[in-house]
Structure 1
Amino acid sequence: MSEPQGAVADRAVLDDALTPLVELRDVTRSFPGPPEVQALKGANLTVAPGDYLSIVGPSGSGKSTMLNILGLLDRPSVGEYRLSGALTGDLSDDERAAVRARFIGFVFQSFHLMPRRTVLDNVLMPMQYSGVPRRERDARAREALSRVGLSHRVDFLPNSLSGGERQRVAVARAVVSGPQLLLADEPTGNLDQRTSGEVMSLFEELNADGLTLIIITHDDAVARRARRCVRISDGRLTEL
């Protein structure tokens, strides 16, 4: 006797929820020498949908290489990277760019805002590449800026904002297209302690709404805020 249609749908939803969003299997990333440098060494990592993970380590430990692999900006030399269950190794460069645009948001230490474009224009920009219909873009950008507390700054240029405000613009830009995964690379590195706390609280609000969050940092205090913490040292991962 076949399963009722509702039971099949429920099982599909359950299976989807159980599929890791991020899965690294024995990933090594080598750079040619001499001598050859292994920036990642047999890395294994599983991140569930909605997880909040920090990856902490000193300069030169492999954090940037890890970010580039997770963000589809680089490819493993050995091993597999699965994103939402799908192998990424055989994707072309154009396919990888399309997945990044639709699936992954990025926040960086140095904000990377366009200085001669308004706050609103900066948040509108990624939607040109992520498939958001043109008619929806303005409303979505304004909603994202409202979410980060910057509705009153839409017409300002980035250089007229404080560091914390610029990072909030960067967060709005990262989430406006509705990514499933947010990668934050040293997001508090240019901020004072109070502003760092405000930005981290914003990330945690987004995570509470279901966004999967990976913070890459050298700061143990930032790392400890996450539900899971992975230390990277000499290219090897150890969960704490």
Structure 2
Amino acid sequence: MPEQATEQPGTKQPAIEQPGTKQPAIEQPVIELAGVCRDFPAQPPVRALSDVSLRVGRGDHLAIIGASGSGKSTLLNVLGLLDRPTSGSYRLDGTETTTLREAARTRLRGERLGFVFQAFHLLAHRSVLENVMLAEIYTRRPREGRRDRALAALERVGLGHRVDFPPGRLSGGERQRTAIARALMAEPSLLLCDEPTGNLDSRNTEAVLDLFDELRAEGLTIVVITHEQEVSERAGRRVRITDGILVEE
């Protein structure tokens, strides 16, 4: 009579996958840099980014810290598809960007990225609402419904009561929130922020950082370039760039 196999105490039999079952999908990172270098022509050439690798998942809040001249602005330009790396790979939402033609890069930038800068770049002669609506001027989104989308974006950042104000009547924090609303109009996958609190006092800085927390909780991925400790400490992750070399903290 054949001997019957028995399971020994403490051992675990391998799981048998049932026909038709699927393994859980691995979520694609929003940002995936691999071996990225950026050289600028000079004698000798200047290397601004050196073998940079970075993965940023959906809903992450990442702070990139670095001194002036460290390469953080170059890294921001690469992430924002404003500059191409000399070598390496940059995938944005799974799309390899380094091989795209310029028109495709421009389209991807408009559809997937939102930008927030230290200077708010608001038009003084336009209302808050009009400044936000202008975000869609160079996109392929239909004109119909633009006002409603802008109103929804302003409500999202807590400025529904300021829609008819000119930027000059807003506080610094309100102007920055207007700029964030404008960046949200495209419903981006990634919000890139360059020193977003550099022109704000401590109270308005806190309000903007609270807004970032709310947006991240909604699933938006946020990358902030900063030299301010308070701003970097509010991020879920921190990386430091020094002489073009990126290190996780």
When normalised by structure 2's length, the TM-score is 0.89
Does the 8 Å CA contact 1:52/1:226 hold for their aligned counterparts? yes
Provide Cα deviations, 1:89-114, integer angstroms capped at 9, x if missing partner: 11111111111111000000001112
Match of 2:56 among 26, 47, 51: 47
Q: Does 1:18 align with 2:19?
A: no
The answer for the alignment partner of 1:200 in structure 2 is 209
Q: Does 1:182 align with 2:196?
A: no
Q: Does 1:82 align with 2:91?
A: yes
Which residues of 2 match residues 1-240 of structure 1 at below 5 A? 3=20, 14-15=24-25, 18-240=27-249
The answer for the alignment partner of 2:3 in structure 1 is none
Deviation at 1:20, TM superposition (A): 1.2
How many residue pairs end up in the alignment? 232
Provide Cα deviations, 1:192-216, integer angstroms capped at 9, x if missing partner: 1111011011011001000011111
Deviation at 1:123, TM superposition (A): 0.6
- Name the CA distance, whole Å, in 2 between partners of 1:121 and 1:38: 41
Does the 8 Å CA contact 1:101/1:126 hold for their aligned counterparts? no
Does the 8 Å CA contact 1:56/1:223 hold for their aligned counterparts? yes
- Name the CA distance, whole Å, in 2 between partners of 1:217 and 1:211: 19
Deviation at 1:153, TM superposition (A): 1.6
Give the secondary structure class of the aligned counterpart of 1:18. coil
Provide Cα deviations, 1:186-235, integer angstroms capped at 9, x if missing partner: 00000011110110110110010000111110112211111110011111
Provide Cα deviations, 1:1-21, integer angstroms capped at 9, x if missing partner: 973xxx66xx6xx53x52111
Q: Larger Cα Rg: Structure 1 or Structure 2?
A: 2
Cα RMSD for the two superposed structures: 1.6
Deviation at 1:34, TM superposition (A): 2.3
* Matched residue type, 2:113: I
Structure 2 runs not aligned, ≥5 long: 1-17
* Matched residue type, 1:237: L
- Name the CA distance, whole Å, in 1 between partners of 2:95 and 2:39: 23
Give the secondary structure class of the aligned counterpart of 2:144. helix
- Name the CA distance, whole Å, in 2 between partners of 1:107 and 1:157: 19
When normalised by structure 1's length, the TM-score is 0.92
- The structure with the largest helix share of the pair is 1
Does the 8 Å CA contact 1:102/1:131 hold for their aligned counterparts? no
* Matched residue type, 1:33: A
Structure 1 runs not aligned, ≥5 long: none
Does the 8 Å CA contact 1:182/1:211 hold for their aligned counterparts? yes
Deviation at 1:128, TM superposition (A): 2.8
